[in-house]
Amino acid sequence: MNPETCPIEFNFDPETFKVGDSVSYRVTGSLTGFPFMGILLEVHDDHVVLTSNPEDLTSRMRATRESRPVVAEEDVC
């Protein structure tokens, strides 16, 4: 495998977001600037719900619906 290639395929098109898609998301506050990876659990017209740990049913974060969703730092779990 090429070390320059990411093994995960992210969906960056909010118009085509669907449950189960992998997304790269951002967090506000002290975590600004760090990239995070999540899985979409819910897709709504104006927001998404994602998780960084699909094994943990309590790990759910509301985020904006844009190419790289944004999670408020206080919503990180």
- Partners of 71 in beta bridges: 27
Question: Exposed, middle or buried: residue 51 (CB in 10 Å: 0-12, 13-18, 19+)?
Answer: middle
Whole-number pLDDT of residue 48: 98
What pTM, to 2 d.p., does this model score? 0.89
In one-letter notation, the amino acid at residue 14 is: P
Give residue-wise pLDDT tens across range 47-71: 999 999 999 989 999 999 999 999 9
